[in-house]
Each structure stands twice: as structure tokens, then as C-alpha cells.
């Protein structure tokens, strides 16, 4: 299963697009730490002082510097966006892994159901031969023959539907993963549920949905901090050199300190908007947490019920049912059991065997749904 899940991550084109988005956000984090480019100003002209005239050259180099904390807030905001993008990758990978595992489980179940149906087909063929070998059929035996032939037709229909679903799922998985795959299931193994508190604790730390809410709150906090710092002035530091080509020549050297005055744009409206968005985020977080807890409890109860049913419909039931049918089959050949009893026995056993495999499948599907809500990879 681990090899197939790794292959699922590698082969998903949709997830690859999300990985590219995550890499783009990582580049944005690096860009957020880069200082603004310096400005180089050059002036040239003529200077007249009395009878003296000469050229003037003035060069100024300015480096903008943000107020302390602004660049850090910008980095934190970019890091939060990158974390959200990476979380989307993890969430999509996890969901796709669970989808593939569910298909593999269904494929394995169909394989067992088909094997069982083919065994039933062989048994009915033997019964038809047994009736045909009798020299003369009584009215009751002719009725029995018709019932058996009708049961065979119903069986052939079931086999055709199973084969169609099996081949369809097999083709879908082969297309997804790039090659045919199959998985051997231990039908005697049952999921280990542990306690509801255990799953709730995992969901608080592993669930992509829960972690996303925390990341969104973190991004909003960084954006709010950044907008509040807009009210602080930015610095401009630089040097200046001025040369006046007179007689004698004059040279001037200056240090330049400037401030960007936040008179009009202080980020005041953006801060107000972000504080309102924070309140909305808190409300969404509480609602999302409640909904996730409800889903987790529901999934746990379902997995608990399906796991209990495995004890009722287990492999032992399959072995006992097959033995009972073989006994009934021998009695029919000896004429001590009529066809109606045999067909009723076959139908009951057939339903029990199929239910045993499907109950195991349902138990693992319910268990893996619980793992998905807790943010864990699927198991079988």
C-alpha cells in the first residue's frame, strides 16, 4: 500500500500544479526580505558667481529603508501564504490517497465476489448435469430444473455486472497510476479504533482543515501588523557630492537623511478592514471546529459499528456457509433435499458470503474516513 500511495503522489497532475503554486509562494517569501533598490540622482548645469562662471555637477545616492518591523511583517505575511499553499498540497495528496485506497479496496472485494460467483456457477452446472442424467423427470423435478436454470441466468447477470465494475475500476486505477496495480487484503484483520478522544486529539494537530484555519488566522495577524506599521515613516539615507568648477574649485560632501511622511496613507482603512476580517475568521474557526468535531464523532460511531459487524460476518462465517452448502448439495444429489430447499440454502449462503466481504470493506472504508478527518494516510 505504501508503494501505491507514493506512486499516487508522483502521478497526480492536479497536485503538481499546487506544488508549483507552493514553490511560487516560497519565492515570494524570499522576495519579501529584499531591500528596495537605491536611487541615484545626477544633476549638471552652469553656475555664475559675479564674473566667474563654471560647470556644476551634483550626485546624490539614496537608499530607502523601511521602518523597523515593516519588512519582518511582510515576511511573516508571505510565509503564512506559503504555508497555506503547502497545506493545500498536503490536503489534496491525502484526499487522493484515500480515494485510491477506497478503489483498491473495492477492487479486491469485487475480485472475491467474482471468485465466489464463479464457484456458484460451477456448482449449478454440476446440479444441472445431475438432473439431466436422470432417465425421466417427474413434474416436480422438471420444476426444479427450471428453477435451477433461472438461478443460473440470474447468476450470469451478477457475474457480468461484477466483471464490468471490476474492469472499469482496474482501468481507472491503471490510468491514474500509470500501470496496473492490485492489492492483497487480509480479510481477517480488523481496524484498531482506539478511543474517540484519541482521534479528536489527532484532528487538532494533524487535520488539514483545522490547520488551515490556524494558518488563515496567522496570515490575517501578519497583514494587520503590516498595515498598522504603515503609519510609521520610512527612512531614506544617502550621500551627496557637489562639485562647482569655479576658480577656485568648490567640492561639497553631504550626508542625507529623509523621511516619508505618512500624512494621507497611514493604512488606516486597511487596518479597520482586517480587524473586521479577524472577527469573521474567529467565527468561521469556531463553526468549522464544531462541524469537524461533529463529522469526526459521526465517522467514529460508523467505524465502531462496522467493526463490530465484522465479528458477526467474518471469514469463519464464509467457511461454515460453504460447508453447509456442500452438505446440502450432496443431499440433493441423493434425492433427500428438494431443489427449493437447495436454492433457498444457496441464496442464504450466497448473501452471507457476499455480506462478509462487503462488511469488511465497509469497516475499512469507515475507518479510513476517520483517518482522513484526523489528517492521517489510509491503512489496510
pLDDT along the chain (380 residues), means of 10: 78 66 72 80 85 87 84 80 81 86 90 84 73 66 73 84 88 80 81 88 85 81 78 85 85 87 71 76 80 88 90 71 74 72 76 84 92 89
Map grid coordinates 496570515 to a residue: 219
pLDDT at 365: 93
Strand order in the sheet with 52-65: 39-49, 52-65, 234-244, 250-260
Amino acid at each position: 500500500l505504501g508503494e501505491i500511495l507514493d506512486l499516487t503522489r508522483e502521478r497526480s497532475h492536479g497536485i503538481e500544479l499546487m506544488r508549483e503554486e507552493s514553490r511560487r509562494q516560497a519565492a515570494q517569501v524570499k522576495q519579501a526580505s529584499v531591500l528596495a533598490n537605491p536611487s541615484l540622482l545626477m544633476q549638471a548645469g552652469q553656475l555664475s558667481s559675479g564674473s566667474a562662471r563654471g560647470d556644476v555637477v551634483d550626485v546624490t545616492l539614496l537608499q530607502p529603508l523601511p521602518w523597523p518591523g515593516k519588512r519582518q511583517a511582510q515576511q511573516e505575511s508571505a510565509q503564512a501564504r506559503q504555508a497555506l499553499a503547502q497545506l493545500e498540497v498536503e490536503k489534496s495528496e491525502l484526499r487522493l490517497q484515500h480515494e485510491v485506497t477506497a478503489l483498491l479496496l473495492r477492487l479486491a472485494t469485487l475480485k472475491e465476489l467474482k471468485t465466489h460467483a464463479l464457484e456458484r456457477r460451477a456448482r449449478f452446472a454440476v446440479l444441472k448435469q445431475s438432473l439431466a442424467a436422470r432417465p425421466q423427470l417427474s413434474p416436480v423435478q422438471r420444476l426444479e430444473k427450471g428453477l435451477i436454470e433461472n438461478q443460473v441466468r440470474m447468476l450470469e447477470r451478477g457475474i457480468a455486472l461484477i466483471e464490468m465494475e471490476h474492469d472499469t475500476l482496474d482501468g481507472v486505477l491503471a490510468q491514474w497510476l500509470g500501470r496496473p496495480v492490485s492489492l492483497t487484503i487480509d480479510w481477517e484483520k480488523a481496524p484498531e479504533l482506539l478511543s474517540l478522544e484519541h482521534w479528536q486529539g489527532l484532528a487538532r494537530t494533524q487535520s488539514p482543515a483545522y490547520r488551515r484555519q490556524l494558518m488563515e488566522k496567522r496570515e490575517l495577524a501578519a497583514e494587520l501588523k503590516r498595515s498598522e506599521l504603515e503609519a510609521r515613516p520610512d527612512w531614506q539615507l544617502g550621500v551627496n557630492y557637489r562639485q562647482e568648477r569655479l576658480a577656485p574649485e568648490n567640492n561639497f560632501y553631504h550626508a542625507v537623511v529623509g523621511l516619508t511622511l505618512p500624512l494621507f496613507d497611514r493604512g488606516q482603512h486597511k487596518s479597520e478592514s482586517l480587524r473586521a476580517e479577524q472577527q469573521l475568521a474567529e467565527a468561521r474557526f469556531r463553526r468549522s471546529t464544531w462541524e469537524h468535531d461533529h463529522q469526526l464523532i459521526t465517522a467514529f460511531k460508523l467505524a465502531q459499528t462496522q467493526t463490530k459487524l465484522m465479528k458477526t460476518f467474518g471469514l469463519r462465517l464464509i467457511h461454515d456457509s460453504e460447508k453447509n452448502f456442500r452438505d446440502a448439495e450432496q443431499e440433493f444429489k441423493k434425492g433427500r433435499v428438494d431443489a427449493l430447499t437447495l436454492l433457498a440454502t444457496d441464496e442464504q449462503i450466497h448473501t452471507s458470503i457476499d455480506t462478509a466481504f462487503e462488511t469488511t470493506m465497509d469497516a475499512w472504508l469507515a475507518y479510513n474516513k476517520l483517518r482522513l478527518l484526523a489528517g492521517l494516510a489510509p491503512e489496510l
